Amino acid sequence: MSQEVQNNTVVTFNYTLKDKETGEIIDSSQFHGEPLTILAGKGEIIPGLEKQMMGMKTGESKTIEVPASEAYGEKDESLIQKAPREYFQGVELQKGMPLQAQTPEGQIINMVVVDFDENEVTVDMNHPLAGKDLVFDIEIVNVREATPEEILHGHAHR
């Protein structure tokens, strides 16, 4: 009997992720050379994708549309901020350039340069996919019961 995707199953699947608006391929398991393996129900992947995979079986393929609200959220305008140019000493700035900053607590913040002039730099700290509706083409490679240890640790073991 074929196991189906449900909470506390280990799911291995191939995927191709596209921007719904442009059709551009953003990511694919083929880029990584192997399928993705997750412990279902533990929030390892975006909620909209996980929810729509439930009930699928090994060998099944499906195209899943995930609205921005169930993916990386809507774009938060408060995360687009201006900072003094001197914070970016020694950086050759370009629009669209990804940067990282570190908070005093040591948390890494990813951002993208939106605009800049000689006095200030505008950065966007939203996730790059925030505000985008996504489309996943997925194929379930394998589904199995998670072991008690995997459930305790909250992720799949190889």
How many structural domains comprise the chain? 2
Q: How far apart are CA 145 and CA 37, in angstroms?
A: 13
Reading the chain (158 residues) residue by residue, the pLDDT tens digits are 569 999 999 999 999 999 999 999 999 999 999 999 999 999 999 999 999 999 999 999 999 999 999 999 999 999 999 999 998 988 899 999 999 988 899 999 999 999 999 999 999 999 999 999 999 999 999 999 999 999 999 999 87
Has residue 158 been placed in a domain?
no
CATH of residue 35's domain is 3.10.50.40
Residues 63 and 137 in one domain: yes
Residues 49 and 84 in one domain: no
Provide the pLDDT for residue 89.
87
Residues 101 and 140 in one domain: no
- Structural domain for 37, as ranges: 9-72+130-153
Residue 125's contacts (CB-CB under 8 Å, 6 or more residues apart) are 79, 80, 81, 109, 110, 111
Has residue 4 been placed in a domain?
no
Say what the pTM is. 0.83
Residues 29 and 43 in one domain: yes
Provide the pLDDT for residue 38.
97
Residues 117 and 138 in one domain: no
Q: Work out whether the CA dihedral 107, 113, 114, 115 comes out positive or negative.
A: positive
Residues 33 and 64 in one domain: yes
Residue 63, class by beta-carbon neighbours within 10 Å (0-12 exposed, 13-18 middle, 19+ buried)?
Answer: exposed
Residues 67 and 19 in one domain: yes
And the tokens for 85? 């140019």
Number of Cβ atoms within 10 Å of the Cβ of 154:
12
Q: Are 145 and 33 in contact (CB under 8 A)?
A: no
CATH of residue 107's domain is 2.40.10.330
Provide the pLDDT for residue 158.
74
